[in-house]
Amino acid sequence: MKLSVNIDHIATLRQVRGGIEPNLSQAITEVLEAGADGITVHLRKDLRHIQLADIEMIQSNFNIPLNVEFDAYTDLNSFLSRFKPAMITLVPENPNEVTTEGGLKLDSDTSSLGQTLASLREKQIHSSLFIDPKPILINRALTLNPDAIEINTNHYSLQTVGSKAYEEALSNIKECAHLIHNEGLRVLAGHGLNRFNVQDIAKISVVDELNIGHSIIARSIYVGLSRATQEILLHLR
């Protein structure tokens, strides 16, 4: 199972002071040397952490799969005229949210989303939709024909490991992972995963890649980025 490390909060810390520390390039180097397969950033509308200049820097200095999370309902064209990441993950972005609050609901007109996916296909950029682990939502997402679906593991991550609610949430994730895999799409998962709750997700063989940020960056304060990344990878390989 692959790991894409979300490095947004390295940029969050940098933006607090507006300088250049901590250095994003150094952090990415450390995460990749520790064995991560790729890097994820969320280019938020309020630019509170990752800046366009960061994406420019990553694109010119690193030959790695870059996954950019982007609001599903913002026009991507000007971004795509400058950048060509390996993948764009479309997420719902609510103003003032502290983090992505849930997956795409896809319960109203999805034609603009369909057009966004078509333009990504045309530009040969892989697309992923961030979706809560409910078969009805996964089925809606499948009709849009993205390259991948990222299962939102947030609800699962909020349960006590081993509890009934945890087992139920895990079972929903497994069911949805197989639903996506059986349609031939890549299965991704992420949000709220850490070195404890990742262990059961790592056993779902059809999940191809995890996207983990906050827990790795938080843990790195105590043990460094390299070890924090390796502590996750230990369960994936």
Active site residues: 42, 69, 191
Q: Which is nearer to ligand PXP, 42 or 174 (CB)?
A: 42
**Strand, helix or coil at 187?**
strand
d(CA 70, CA 107): 19
* Strands 66-71 vs 2-6: parallel, antiparallel or unpaired: unpaired
Residue 174 touching ligand PXP (CB under 6 A): no
Residue 2 touching ligand PXP (CB under 6 A): no
Q: Which of residues 5-34 bind ligand PXP (CB under 6 A)?
A: 6, 8
Count CB atoms within 10 A of the CB of residue 111.
8
Residues in the chain: 237
Query: Minimum distance between the CB of residue 131 and ligand PXP, rounded to whole angstroms?
Result: 10
Stretch that binds ligand PXP, among 75-83, 117-125, 134-142, 189-197 (CB under 6 A): 189-197
The beta-strand segments (E) located in the chain are 2-6, 38-42, 66-71, 87-91, 126-131, 148-152, 186-190, 207-212
- DSSP states of 132-144: -S-HHHHHHHHHT
Q: What character string, x for contact with ligand PXP (CB under 6 A) and - otherwise, covers 134-163?
A: ----------------x-------------
d(CA 147, CA 229): 26
Q: Which of residues 207-236 bind ligand PXP (CB under 6 A)?
A: 211-215
Q: Which of residues 95-134 bind ligand PXP (CB under 6 A)?
A: 99-100, 130
Q: Which is nearer to ligand PXP, 85 or 192 (CB)?
A: 192
Residues that bind ligand PXP (CB under 6 A): 6, 8, 42, 69, 89, 91, 99-100, 130, 150, 190-193, 211-215
